Amino acid sequence: MPDYKLLIGGRLVDGDDVMGIINPATEEVLAFCPRASAGQLDAAIMAAKEAFPAWARTPIAERRAMILALADCMEIHAESLARLLTQEQGKPLSEATAEIAYSIAFIRQLATHDLPVQVLEDNDSRRVELHRRPLGVVGAIIPWNFPVLIVAFKLPFALLAGNTLLIKPAPTTPLSTLRMGEMMAGIFPPGVINIITDQNDLGARLTTHPDVAKISFTGSTETGRKVMAGAAASIKRLTLELGGNDAAIVLPDADPVKAASGIFGGAFMNAGQVCLAIKRVYAHADIYDALCVELARIAEEAVVDDGLKQGAQIGPLQNRAQYDKVRALLETARSDGTIIAGGEVLDRPGYFIRPTIVRDISDGARLVDEEQFGPILPIIRYDDPDDALARANASDMGLGGSIWSSDRDVAHDLAMRMEAGTVWINKHLDFGPTVPFGGAKQSGLGVEFAEEGFHEFTQIHVINEAKG
Ligand code: NAD
């Protein structure tokens, strides 16, 4: 019997089926885990629906205390959670440890929010109050790149606002979420949080279910479209955090050594499997060669290994499908550009690809136009910054982007014209719970974090009273 349980209606239960979870660093089965049936999904939604009225009436201070208790419990188990995360996801233990620490910090910060009544008008003729009410059952759909952190993005606001929750982790990374489920079972009233696992087969049922009021989805743009279509029948509220193809534009006055170091970190964290990683670099002709040389040097020095090994900097790709997709892109890069670092897989079990730098490549190549979501970075040469910006903007995606320059005014001007939810200057990948985060264009819909993100888990409720 699996060592992991689903959480349905406050009870830790077996799934109607079982599935093996692969360690991507060894390709061996790491653990067996429950796989829920459609009936179990329905039972979890029903439990969340039944728990909703009492949870919505629970004072926000009590809801907050339970959310904070979860963060405390995660802190106690941080070491074992991080180890499990590395084993199921692949990322180096240092990154997994940071993911758990960030998750705890996110939960604690997001839980500080409140929902005060706003008095919009109070005069002789009328008093208008703006209240915010919970929506009902929220479905949180999680991808495999940050299985714990993305739960921490969604859970605090969903629950603090008075909603109940159903969490569905990705099929290849459910274990750390299920461990958190054991903690949740001891903290929250039955049905307030439920966890269901699947093999990519229950998402559609969840997003079309009439008793689910909102879907908060993080994943690919392709699946996001399906979620949006599924939500239409009952006009569900939606937050979609989708794919990206973030461009970094490097101006001729940037320091190539500093820029290369920042760009490498922004592109290769989690083996490039980050929604807002740098996925293409536009470098001015005057700095192009120096930047390429420096990026190649860093890439060649990077230690690629099992994330549990001391000193590992880049782990395997998370799953076989992603590994195959990235290897196919690597093959296209051989003819579309010049590989100056990496370019090969490791000759051992595990989905390892060495960090790869590709130069002499341009727009129109698949590696530039598509989201690689892996450790391969194309460097594109340009002569005119406005042209580079136009090429960066000529994408359906618009999650993030960055400008690298020693001239703050020029960088700021370009940043203002970049079509993305977040644009960084001389850095990339800096985000936090107090800064709203959301994608432009097909990178998403709605916002996470900060006040704006909290409001997405609520429904406005206006009380408008005649006076005089
Ligand atoms: P995915 O879209 O394949 O899967 C995401 C989740 O959706 C999984 O839990 C999956 O089981 C579920 N799912 C699959 N089919 C579904 C359906 N028909 N209806 C509802 N849910 C369904 O994405 P992935 O491969 O797990 O993650 C990689 C992608 O996610 C990349 O494109 C990346 O850029 C994006 N991503 C975006 C962000 C962000 O915040 N913008 C963060 C992380 C990842």
CATH number at residue 303: 3.40.309.10
For tokens 């009380």, what's the residue?
Answer: 463
Q: Which residue in 93, 84, 82 sits closest to 30, CA to CA? A: 84
Q: What is the CATH number of the domain that holds 137?
A: 3.40.605.10
Contact indicator for 44, 8 with CB cutoff of 8 Å: yes
At 4-53, the pLDDT tens digits run 999 999 999 999 999 999 999 999 999 999 999 999 999 999 999 999 99
What is the distance, to the nearest Å, from the Cα of residue 58 to the centroid of all Cα atoms in its chain?
Answer: 30
Ligand 1 pocket, Cβ-based, cut-off 6 angstroms: 141-145, 168, 170-171, 200, 203-204, 207, 218-220, 223, 226-227, 241-244, 275, 371, 373, 399, 439, 444
Over residues 410-424, the mean pLDDT reads: 98
| 426 & 448 share domain | no
Over residues 416-431, the mean pLDDT reads: 98
Indicate whether 80 pLDDT > 70: yes
Choose the catalytic residue: 88, 241, 448, 456. Answer: 241
Active site annotation includes 241: yes
The encoded tokens of residue 131 equal 């209240």
Hey, whose CA ends up nearest to atom 20 of ligand 1? 203
CA 200 – ligand 1 centroid, Å: 10
CA 276 – ligand 1 centroid, Å: 14
At 122-170, the pLDDT tens digits run 999 999 999 999 999 999 999 999 999 999 999 999 999 999 999 999 9
| 267 & 412 share domain | yes
In single-letter form, the type of residue at position 186 comes to G
Which residue range is the domain that position 205 belongs to?
A: 6-242+443-466
- Nearest-atom number in ligand 1 for the CA of 219 is 30
The reply to whether 214 falls in a domain is yes
- Nearest-atom number in ligand 1 for the CA of 399 is 41
- Nearest-atom number in ligand 1 for the CA of 230 is 19
| 219 & 253 share domain | no
| 235 & 280 share domain | no
The reply to whether 437 falls in a domain is no
| 172 & 304 share domain | no
| 420 & 451 share domain | no
In the chain, pLDDT over 70 holds for what percent of residues? 100
Hey, whose CA ends up nearest to atom 42 of ligand 1? 275
The reply to whether 92 falls in a domain is yes
At 284-337, the pLDDT tens digits run 999 999 999 999 999 999 999 999 999 999 999 999 999 999 999 999 999 999
| 303 & 353 share domain | yes
The encoded tokens of residue 85 equal 């995360």
| 311 & 379 share domain | yes
| 222 & 277 share domain | no
Contact indicator for 166, 137 with CB cutoff of 8 Å: yes
The reply to whether 357 falls in a domain is yes
Full-model pTM: 0.97
| 310 & 165 share domain | no
In single-letter form, the type of residue at position 215 comes to I
Tell me the CA distances in angstroms from 83 to 91, 122, 314, one per residue in order. 10, 56, 15
Q: Is 461 helix (H, G, I), strand (E, B) or coil?
A: strand
Structurally, the chain folds into a number of domains equal to 2
The reply to whether 438 falls in a domain is no
Residue 2 is predicted with a pLDDT of 62
| 189 & 168 share domain | yes
The reply to whether 21 falls in a domain is yes
Distance CA 189, CA 202 (A): 25
The reply to whether 24 falls in a domain is yes
| 48 & 183 share domain | yes
